[in-house]
Structure 1
């Protein structure tokens, strides 16, 4: 029994280590039709976006390329850490269309959408292309999301202190000792 649990945990951890190397998978598990529908919707919107790996994004950052990161995680998730980039917008998934309609996102700009694993980012970026007619060449999704970024060995910064409050400065979170799973999707 104990061996089975250890094997199961090892397989789950291994899947997250390599999550950034694969195309969006049916990683959302659970019972019921909503999960199946969510996965199907994510796969549908993949045709409207481009993927960027954590390594490619790091090269863009190092080269100081002109792009904006759009984080579509929930506000509480964002407190856990974000990629250190000066042009970083935080629009929770349900608000992206509203901000776009208000003119916050421009068709001529390049955007890299991210969430915890890439599922919500695919929906947000894909909707810009499909419904707001943004050029596909300007819309990217970080493969594996923040989980993929961290599991590739890159760091995030956050404003959360040890006591759960906010600090005046940003703190860097270094490479994790084990795979990070920030969210179920």
Structure 2
């Protein structure tokens, strides 16, 4: 095989992993962290801290209503992803006071935008910390952690669209 054929073959083997595998979610996480240099919290770390007695978190889901209604993290509050800083603090300021805020969406892009905006706002010092959930609800779900809807625990997460939905792992 010449160099071009070897490269083409390697690309052929790697393409499905790059497009559809867990590796892709990791790449997306890294890209988001590069584009939005804010504190991130991993799904494992968040779960561990939520289960500890001293945890005082406010989970904020920045997805659309249909995404949130299909499933979300337990006790999460939905926030319009296009909310202004002023409106956010007016609506959630008291609820958020002195808490650690964790924003999430499907993979972390929409939530990182709002978290970054609020992190640099004049009211940011009224909360303990502002985080973006690395990998969003997709990483949470793929880690085997519970998501809920109005009926309780569910094995369903809104895929956002056909492409992004391929990042979700099926549960048995």
Q: Judge same fold: TM > 0.5, yes or no.
A: yes
Q: Does 1:108 find its partner at 2:90?
A: no
Corresponding position of 1:172: 154
The partner residue of 2:81 within 62, 85, 93 is 93
The partner residue of 1:146 within 131, 137, 141 is 137
Looking at structure 1, the residues matched to 13 and 29 of structure 2 have their Cα atoms a distance apart, in angstroms, of 27
Structure 1 vs Structure 2 CA RMSD:
3.3
Structure 1: runs of 5+ lacking an equivalent:
27-38, 160-168
Query: CA offsets, 1:138-181, max 9 Å, x none?
Result: 0011000011111122121123xxxxxxxxx323328x9xxx85
Looking at structure 2, the residues matched to 181 and 18 of structure 1 have their Cα atoms a distance apart, in angstroms, of 15
Q: Helix, strand or coil for the counterpart of 1:95?
A: coil
Looking at structure 1, the residues matched to 17 and 26 of structure 2 have their Cα atoms a distance apart, in angstroms, of 17
Residue 100 of structure 1 deviates from its aligned partner by 2.1
Looking at structure 2, the residues matched to 80 and 6 of structure 1 have their Cα atoms a distance apart, in angstroms, of 34
Corresponding position of 2:19: 12
The partner residue of 1:158 within 132, 149, 152 is 149
Q: Does 1:71 find its partner at 2:77?
A: no
Q: Helix, strand or coil for the counterpart of 1:94?
A: coil
Residue 182 of structure 1 deviates from its aligned partner by 3.8
Larger Rg: 2
TM-score under structure 2 normalisation? 0.70
The within-5 A match list for 1:15-94 is 16=22, 19=25, 23-25=29-31, 43=35, 46-47=36-37, 49-64=38-53, 65-84=55-74, 86=75, 88-94=76-82
